[in-house]
Structure 1
Amino acid sequence: MPVPTDRIAVTIHAADPLSRAGIVRHLQHQPTVEVVPSSPPGAAGPAAATVAAAAAVAVMAVDRIDEPSAAELRELLRGGERPVVLIARELREPELLAVVEYGVRAILWRHQTTEERLFEAIRQSARGECVLPPDLIGRVLGQMNRLRRSEASAACAGTGAVPPFGLAPRETDVLRLLADGLDTRTISEKLAYSERTVKNILHGLMSRLQLNNRAHAVAYALREGYI
């Protein structure tokens, strides 16, 4: 989501006070970041709406994804308007696929999170870009490949079916470049499309397939074997 000013408003979500203090310490020297109060889960009313509108990016720190943290994550991502930077100690494959499908745009390993890496993840997320550690990308691709092989085996055995083809070739081309971390302008240059055309392609497929955002579209394309 584009940020309308040169400052990025950030809310911090961490059950552990020490984790929250550590994130604040990482961000307090960044002049373009403003940490704003976060409203409690499920909060409503004018005050909560003001905070939600002010927060361009949410930063959430967890050890692992359990039921309470998954519920909070889904609440933060509701509506697809606010990107989330997730800082995790570890993620198992099912948890990894879940957070990607929820719409998380950036994931950082806690032991690798420095002030510079956190700020860069926030900045890129605010611009609508995705940030994943290299080893995490490999795990996502590996899990998707396993799912595709499982689907193919089920189809051959007569116990299931491979999902029908649902993406046009140019949609696949756009999503493949999006998965490589390219922005709209660079994708348009590589495919010789206008930026408006690229945006229309993404909007069309997300509307047709009921996908929440670009990260969800990439996750869908990976899971279904289109890219």
Structure 2
Amino acid sequence: MPSAQNTAPDTTATTSRVPTAAWSTHRTSRSDRADRVTVAVYAADPVLRLGVVQQLRQRPEVDLLADADDGAEQAQVSLVVVDRVDDDVAALLHRLRHNTATRTGLVVATLGPGSLQRVIECGVAAVLRRAEADQDQLLRLVLAIANGEGMLPGDLLGKLLSHVGSLQRSSLDPRSLSLSTLTTREADMLRMVSEGLDTAEIARKTAYSERTVKNVLHEVITRLQLRNRAHAVGYALRNGLI
């Protein structure tokens, strides 16, 4: 009689560097996988990754990929699980955006000022707060993304609609001035410039890189057709933008 095969799941440890994909705990046939949504989970913190993996691996609708780099072209959905959106997370989101095989969802603890616009610019299709990320909500998020749909918490959807409305009003009357002329991040950085802070000090206070600070201020100066930071501060003060 042939001996019984060992069917214990592979428990080989995975590294915690970003990006790290969820470890699949089961084997499925190719025909079975065709009916399921293939998902890669990215997280710098292995504890965060494990929490999402434990929820999704119980669902027959989902096929978790074992390795993000090797299976990137197979993932229909990429989930990025983070505390907040910083430059490293934005870089990962941009990289995933260039992968036409996958659509990206974000599971995040907090979205600071300007972060919603930032993640949308990075190609994120749907957002779920980590506090609400139970098994049903995670599955809903995955299926919505796989079906080409978007998903946002109600309050973030309201902010997005308000922002789009402001952009439409500005485009109809480009000479009009309002608070929507500057994003929250731009206004905050210009306000710090007006207080005498240099690039390094602004970077420390905002938790952005110095390169990001320079890019944001350069974008304001270019968009408003101004000469330099001092001109931008004066313009913003005269028009009540900061």
Instruction: Pick the TM interval, shorter chain.
Output: 0.5 to 0.7
Counterpart residue number, 2:44: 15
Q: Determine which of 63, 77, 96 is the counterpart of 1:57.
A: 77
Counterpart residue number, 1:6: 35
Give the root-mean-square deviation of aligned CA atoms. 2.3
Give the number of the structure whose residues are more often helix, by fraction. Answer: 1
Deviation at 1:154, TM superposition (A): 5.4
Letter in 1 for 2:116: L
Listed as ranges, the matches of 1:33-52 within 5 Å are 33-40=62-69, 48=70, 51-52=71-72
Give the number of aligned pairs.
Answer: 146
Is the contact made by 2:170 and 2:176 (CA closer than 8 Å) also made in structure 1?
no
Listed as ranges, the matches of 1:115-194 within 5 Å are 115-148=135-168, 155-156=175-176
The separation in 2 between residues aligned to 1:103 and 1:54, in whole angstroms, is: 18
Which protein shows a greater Rg? 2
CA deviations over 1:79-126 (Å, ceiling 9, x no partner) = 443111100111134211121122211100111111001001101111
2:107 matches 1:78: no
Counterpart residue number, 1:99: 119
Identity %: 32
Is the contact made by 1:87 and 1:107 (CA closer than 8 Å) also made in structure 2?
yes
Listed as ranges, the matches of 1:19-34 within 5 Å are 19-34=48-63
The separation in 1 between residues aligned to 2:89 and 2:73, in whole angstroms, is: 22
Is the contact made by 2:75 and 2:101 (CA closer than 8 Å) also made in structure 1?
no
Deviation at 1:26, TM superposition (A): 0.6
Deviation at 1:152, TM superposition (A): 6.4
Deviation at 1:39, TM superposition (A): 3.2
The separation in 2 between residues aligned to 1:80 and 1:97, in whole angstroms, is: 21
Letter in 1 for 2:44: A
Compare relative contact order (CA 8 Å, sep 6+) and give the higher one, 1 or 2: 1
3-state SS in 2 of match to 1:29? coil
The separation in 2 between residues aligned to 1:54 and 1:80, in whole angstroms, is: 11
TM-score under structure 1 normalisation?
0.58
- Relative distance call for 1:11 and 1:156 in structure 2 (3 A) is closer
CA deviations over 1:171-201 (Å, ceiling 9, x no partner) = xxxxxxxxxxxxxxxxxxxxxxxxxxxxxxx
The separation in 1 between residues aligned to 2:169 and 2:36, in whole angstroms, is: 45
The separation in 2 between residues aligned to 1:90 and 1:117, in whole angstroms, is: 17
3-state SS in 2 of match to 1:105? strand
Counterpart residue number, 1:224: none
Listed as ranges, the matches of 1:194-213 within 5 Å are none
Instruction: State which drifts further: 58-67 or 72-81.
Output: 72-81
- Relative distance call for 1:81 and 1:39 in structure 2 (3 A) is closer
